[in-house]
Amino acid sequence: MANGAPSRTKVSLKDIVLEDVRRGEHARSLRRDLREIYRFYLSDSEREHLAAMRPFRRFFWIVWWLARNLLLRLSPNRRLLLVAAVLLLPFGHFEITTRSGRVSVDVAALSFLSVLIVLMLELKDKLLARDEIEVARNVQLSLLPKEQPRVDGWDIWSATTPANDVGGDLIDFLEGSGGRLGVALGDVSGKGMGAALLCAKLQATLRALAPRSNDLQVLGGALNATLERAGLDNRYATLFYCEIEPGGSSVRFLNAGHNPALLVRRGSVETLSASALPLGMLPGTLYAQGEVALDPGDLLVLYSDGITEATDAADGEFGLDRLRSAVLERASLRAEQLARGVLEDAARFIGGEKPHDDQSILVLRRAGA
């Protein structure tokens, strides 16, 4: 083309459909989609109630509850269109006698058209929201560490995989007090855009307060007060924050309602449990600063509950015991290899299922062994 512009190949709808067919694994993908519909539209109590029913009766209740919950999630106009489509469907077609003759009305076509209109409106909303989420994802990615930190005497690696386009897990490396390196792994309640926004607020607050806080107990109180003042209902954040010194061996830490960190030493696993409630849950919550010394070769593994609560097709959880085993099996490896191995184990466990929560892991190894 002129001016060296690249040519664009027009792809037909037929080519796209044929490519979809060639990709295969449609039955497996359909089963996964049906399970996601089941989990999304039915509450935990409804699923428990269904599990106690006989199969024949359970089928009709599933159909009824799915239809009801679908309608309740639609806007009024779209709900009326869908109800009209369902009511018109059994009539097929009928004829109307007018002065000019008999007119045949295809009710099934009108029913199909109503469903198509609802589908097009919902898809339009989804595509508009996806564009906004893509912008939010780019902003969130820009806030993540660009590279793993290099600290004398330490081997550090982190990784995070959002369950959705944007996530509520926080991993950050920042300037701590007294020239130390601050290491943070947090988890905001919920998923999606709301969790991502609160995650960004937590990160900004932590970066502002951590360099000036010599006492992590005070830091926890300040973080809690800031998030609690935000006044977001049912929104809170867990956080494991620690600080290390180049060439040092001690780790001082704050665990605000987060999963217990795994301390691996001499072939065994200890835990560093939370000292208080998550941040932003209740005003005036008191936090405690902990400290632990790591010998060469010792590991400190931080993780989000998206790993331990990862579920397979049978709703079985990966669990803390599997995580402990996965860490112990790789205790002699470098931090990067250990972190990647744990995430691979979790992915194999859930198989083709889509993760229901963000999965994050951060490994600190004391170098020298």
Which pLDDT score is estimated for 94?
66
Helix H or strand E segment including 155: strand 154-161
10 Å CB burial of residue 169 (0-12, 13-18, 19+) is buried
Radius of gyration of the chain (CA): 27
pLDDT digits (tens, 9 = 90+) for 139-164: 666 667 778 999 999 999 998 887 76
Q: What is the pLDDT along the chain (369 residues), one digit of tens a residue?
A: 444 444 445 667 777 777 777 776 677 777 778 888 888 889 889 988 998 898 889 999 999 999 999 999 999 999 998 988 888 877 766 666 667 767 677 778 888 888 899 999 888 888 887 777 676 667 666 667 778 999 999 999 998 887 766 667 889 999 887 788 999 999 988 766 777 778 888 898 999 999 988 899 999 999 999 988 876 667 889 999 999 999 899 999 999 999 999 999 988 999 988 888 999 988 889 999 999 999 999 999 999 998 999 988 788 899 999 999 999 999 999 999 999 999 999 999 988 777 778 889 999 999 875
Domains, the chain, with CATH or none: 10-139 (no CATH), 147-366 (3.60.40.10)
Instruction: Say how many Å lie between the first and final Cα of the chain, rounded.
Output: 60
Listed in sequence order, the residues at least 6 apart from 217 whose beta carbon sits closer than 8 Å to its beta carbon are 254, 286, 287, 288, 289
| Entry pTM | 0.72
Q: What is d(CA 62, CA 50) in angstroms, rounded to the nearest whole number? A: 8
- 61-70 long-range contacts (CB < 8 A, ≥24 apart) are 62/38, 65/41, 66/37, 66/38, 66/41, 66/42, 69/41, 69/42, 70/41
User: Quick one: which of 174, 228, 163 has its CA closest to 196?
Assistant: 163
pLDDT of residue 157: 95
Does residue 234 contact residue 301 with C-beta atoms inside 8 Å? Answer: no
Dump the DSSP string for 74-123: S-HHHHHHHHHHHHHGGG-EEEEEETTEEEEEEHHHHHHHHHHHHHHHHH
| φ and ψ of 154, to 5 deg | -135, 145
> What's the pLDDT score for residue 162?
74
How many Å apart are CA 120 and CA 278, to the nearest integer? Answer: 42
The tokens for 5 are 């512009």
In the structure encoding, which two tokens stand for residue 76, read together? 């009024």
Query: Who contacts 356 (Cβ-Cβ below 8 Å, separation ≥6)?
Result: 39, 163, 306, 309, 310, 311
